[in-house]
Structure 1
Amino acid sequence: MQGVPEEWTEEDGGTGERSRGTGTGKGEETMMMELTRLVQKTVKESSWWERRGIDCSILAAAFISLPPAFLLLGSSHFLWFSAGVLLMGVAHGIITIKGTHLASHGALSESQAWAKFWAVFFIEICGSFSALAGVKGHIKMHHAHTNVIGLGDSSVWKVPFLSRSIYLFIAPLAVPVITPLVALGRKYFPVERDNRTVAMVTLGLYSQYWLLINVSGFTSPLSALLCMLVCRAMFSVPYIHVNIFQHIGLPMFSPTRRPKRIYQMTHGVLNLPRNPLLDWMFGHSLINCHVEHHLFPFLSDNMCLKVKPVVSKYLTEKQLPYQEDGYLSRLQLFFNRYQELMVFAPPITELVGVQ
């Protein structure tokens, strides 16, 4: 597995190369192997630009846009200042959502050393969270146990005591504050790694604050902190929506009795339609290629998009689900069925005939 630090992987690291559950069925193994060969053929025929270059260029463009954003934030004209806030918010969204997601999967480099470096850079310095905790929670739990109750069922996004309107539209704005507090409060790893996380998170937060004071010319610490909050929370609402829309409300499985991986992913994962803004900011693997991403989680966003026709055609031919739904349709579903989906424990699904 190129690009994935050894210490962050378990038996299959969520790649699906080994079947999970009650055993390896020959039919399921054959289908996964066939699909893997088709996808690998497409990847091998692709250039570096397609495999990594496009996504790296998008991230580079986000970083390049930061200097003009800081300069615009120093303007006394409302329109220029607003443009600075918007530019800073978009850049931060790309870096901390698309960048951290790709880095957590080792999709930015084939070198394990560079993959680890980018994970620390994007997740800790830019994203204000622990790289090891993020990788453990995302790859070793969510990907390895997708939609398994109590393990990879997106329960981290559930806050049952909040009303549906508060949860869906107000609470996500607190994510930029909650994230570093959770990261700094974790004590699950060796002291030296906890100390590194504290140092990296502090470096990232203080760097933005220092630039707002010294480059943008903010005279009040409170105004600089408020600007940081606005920019960092700008896309928190769709970020939380995307995280719950694509899994919760779909079939959920028991930890002791789950379907084989290809059935688990095709039944428990959903693609949203293409959206120019969210595709660019969050990445295809989080929006319109989420099924492909869960089947082949170490592909870059652009490669997920390229193999999408291959995966959708194969699953359709094999009469497996290829689930897609619209953003507004999912929002309406969650708003109307909030108690059932987000407050009460979802029912366990038994896929009769595919066990």
Structure 2
Amino acid sequence: MEPAQGAPPGSGGGEALLGELEALVRDVERASSWWERRGVDCAILGLSLLALPAGFLCLRSENVLVLGLGITILGVSHYTLTVKGSHLATHGALTESKGWSKIWELFFVEVCLAFSAEYAKYGHVKIHHGYTNVLGLGDSSTWRLPCLNRFVYMFLSPLLIPIITPLVAVERLRKVELRLAVRTLGLISLGLYAHYWLLLNVSGFRSPGSALLCMFITRSLLAHPYLHVNIFQHIGLPMFSRDKKPRRIHMMSLGVLNLPRLPVLDWAFGHSLISCHVEHHLFPWLSDNMCLKVKPVVSQFLHEKKLRYNEDSYLARFRLFLSHYEELMVQTPPITELVGLQ
């Protein structure tokens, strides 16, 4: 864990710097059309929904290539709806209407993702964003499984995500009100059964086992990059204590990392989770397309103010985690000393 470099001393300057940067970002946002602010991402989600019938119909074919095309369409569409859709909906970035935001949140998180909307919002928005890289809170520790060795974790454990996700959701229903638990359980069941029913009645699968196997394959198609991205962009960067965490702009500058643009992941996960993660953590209300649009403004500002702007390649991060797995994923990371920034 390397010490923080290039951060200006003093605590009062942090809020002023963030205010100055936010004013620049707001100017870009006000000058942007609805299509740029929300339309592009809504169109991507809409196209993913429209592609589902083609994917299910392709699975009727006995041709291996057409069958593979169907699995690819369903797999990419599934991750677009569950990762990109649920992420934007959780942050309220799809619409300005609170009512429609709640509807989209329930649809993408509970029906598509098979998880609890309440826990998704609490864990991601309030904890991870509110306490980014603060040990014991928003330090991405939920992704650490010290009991697994590096190869099992990096190559095999992602395949369990489609199975673990609904199980974790059901386990957490014990801690919510009865009406919320019934609603969540009903919507999760609806999403899973709809997928299963379509495979039997549209794709023509003749046995429950083959339909369930196809569900597993499509829902785990991009599970590896999904897990990798969630650890690459925070773990291994400076970690803070709750009582000595830096100001927000320093916290996000030091504790968040951008990956390069990757076409498939840009589409399925969204820019805010790939190449614009720093921008997303600084301004979480922005849509994926707006994060991409303000990226030059944010990067230039941070560089001018001599703040860190973390960027690295997917392959480089993968090699780092394989070679330093014990340090990053098994041992408790040390708290980074940030003299003058608390």
Give the Cα–Cα distance (whole angstroms) in 2 for the partners of residues 325 and 189 of structure 1: 40
- Shifted more, 201-210 versus 180-189: the winner is 180-189
The gaps in structure 1 that reach 5 residues or longer are 1-23
Give the Cα–Cα distance (whole angstroms) in 1 for the partners of residues 18 and 242 of structure 2: 21
Aligned position for 2:15: 29
Give the Cα–Cα distance (whole angstroms) in 1 for the partners of residues 13 and 119 of structure 2: 35
Give the Cα–Cα distance (whole angstroms) in 2 for the partners of residues 31 and 218 of structure 1: 58
Q: Structure 2 counterpart of 1:204, which letter?
A: G
User: Aligned to 1:138, what secondary structure does the other structure show?
Assistant: helix
Give the Cα–Cα distance (whole angstroms) in 1 for the partners of residues 11 and 175 of structure 2: 36
Aligned position for 1:255: 242
Of residues 204, 208, 217, the one that matches 1:221 is 208
Aligned-pair Cα RMSD in Å? 0.9
Aligned position for 2:36: 50
Q: Structure 2 counterpart of 1:153, which letter?
A: D
Aligned position for 2:274: 287
> Which aligned segments of 4 or more residues in structure 1 are displaced greater than 4 angstroms?
none
Aligned position for 2:254: 267
The gaps in structure 2 that reach 5 residues or longer are 1-9
Give the Cα–Cα distance (whole angstroms) in 2 for the partners of residues 310 and 83 of structure 1: 39
Aligned position for 2:5: none
Task: Tell me the CA shift for residue 335 of structure 1.
Answer: 0.2
Give the Cα–Cα distance (whole angstroms) in 1 for the partners of residues 149 and 199 of structure 2: 35
1:86 aligns with 2:72: yes
Of residues 164, 173, 191, the one that matches 2:159 is 173
C-alpha distance after superposition, 1:21-52 (max 9, x if no partner)? xxx94311111110010000000000000000
Give the Cα–Cα distance (whole angstroms) in 2 for the partners of residues 276 and 218 of structure 1: 32
Give the Cα–Cα distance (whole angstroms) in 2 for the partners of residues 26 and 335 of structure 1: 39
Aligned position for 2:263: 276
Q: Structure 2 counterpart of 1:300, which letter?
A: S
Of residues 309, 312, 318, the one that matches 2:299 is 312
Q: Identity, % of aligned pairs?
A: 58
Aligned position for 1:102: 88
Task: Tell me the CA shift for residue 77 of structure 1.
Answer: 1.6
1:150 aligns with 2:136: yes
Of residues 130, 145, 148, the one that matches 1:162 is 148
User: Aligned to 2:175, what secondary structure does the other structure show?
Assistant: coil
Task: Tell me the CA shift for residue 354 of structure 1.
Answer: 2.1
Q: Structure 2 counterpart of 1:184, which letter?
A: V
Give the Cα–Cα distance (whole angstroms) in 2 for the partners of residues 189 and 139 of structure 1: 18
Task: Tell me the CA shift for residue 96 of structure 1.
Answer: 0.7
Task: Tell me the CA shift for residue 79 of structure 1.
Answer: 1.5
Task: Tell me the CA shift for residue 256 of structure 1.
Answer: 1.6
Give the Cα–Cα distance (whole angstroms) in 1 for the partners of residues 203 and 267 of structure 2: 27
Give the Cα–Cα distance (whole angstroms) in 2 for the partners of residues 56 and 253 of structure 1: 36
Which is bigger in relative contact order (C-alpha 8 A, separation at least 6)? 2
Aligned position for 1:61: 47
**TM-score under structure 2 length normalisation:** 0.96
Task: Tell me the CA shift for residue 277 of structure 1.
Answer: 1.2
Aligned position for 2:326: 339
Q: Structure 2 counterpart of 1:294, which letter?
A: H
Give the Cα–Cα distance (whole angstroms) in 2 for the partners of residues 315 and 292 of structure 1: 11
Of residues 106, 116, 119, the one that matches 1:133 is 119
C-alpha distance after superposition, 1:129-158 (max 9, x if no partner)? 000000000000000000000100001111
Give the Cα–Cα distance (whole angstroms) in 1 for the partners of residues 132 and 281 of structure 2: 9
Aligned position for 2:3: none
Count of residue pairs the alignment pairs up: 332
Could you tell me whether the CA contact under 8 Å between 2:15 and 2:248 is conserved in 1?
A: no
Could you tell me whether the CA contact under 8 Å between 2:249 and 2:282 is conserved in 1?
A: yes
C-alpha distance after superposition, 1:257-282 (max 9, x if no partner)? 11111111100000001111111111
1:212 aligns with 2:199: yes
Q: Structure 2 counterpart of 1:237, which letter?
A: H
Give the Cα–Cα distance (whole angstroms) in 1 for the partners of residues 200 and 104 of structure 2: 27
Aligned position for 1:231: 218
User: Aligned to 1:65, what secondary structure does the other structure show?
Assistant: helix
Give the Cα–Cα distance (whole angstroms) in 2 for the partners of residues 198 and 280 of structure 1: 29
Task: Tell me the CA shift for residue 214 of structure 1.
Answer: 0.5
Give the Cα–Cα distance (whole angstroms) in 2 for the partners of residues 136 and 59 of structure 1: 23
Give the Cα–Cα distance (whole angstroms) in 2 for the partners of residues 77 and 224 of structure 1: 17
Give the Cα–Cα distance (whole angstroms) in 2 for the partners of residues 114 and 167 of structure 1: 38
Aligned position for 2:339: 352
User: Aligned to 2:187, what secondary structure does the other structure show?
Assistant: helix
**TM-score under structure 1 length normalisation:** 0.92
Give the Cα–Cα distance (whole angstroms) in 1 for the partners of residues 74 and 135 of structure 2: 37
Give the Cα–Cα distance (whole angstroms) in 2 for the partners of residues 107 and 188 of structure 1: 27
User: Aligned to 1:52, what secondary structure does the other structure show?
Assistant: helix
Give the Cα–Cα distance (whole angstroms) in 1 for the partners of residues 299 and 339 of structure 2: 23
1:244 aligns with 2:231: yes
Give the Cα–Cα distance (whole angstroms) in 2 for the partners of residues 319 and 45 of structure 1: 27
Give the Cα–Cα distance (whole angstroms) in 2 for the partners of residues 188 and 251 of structure 1: 33
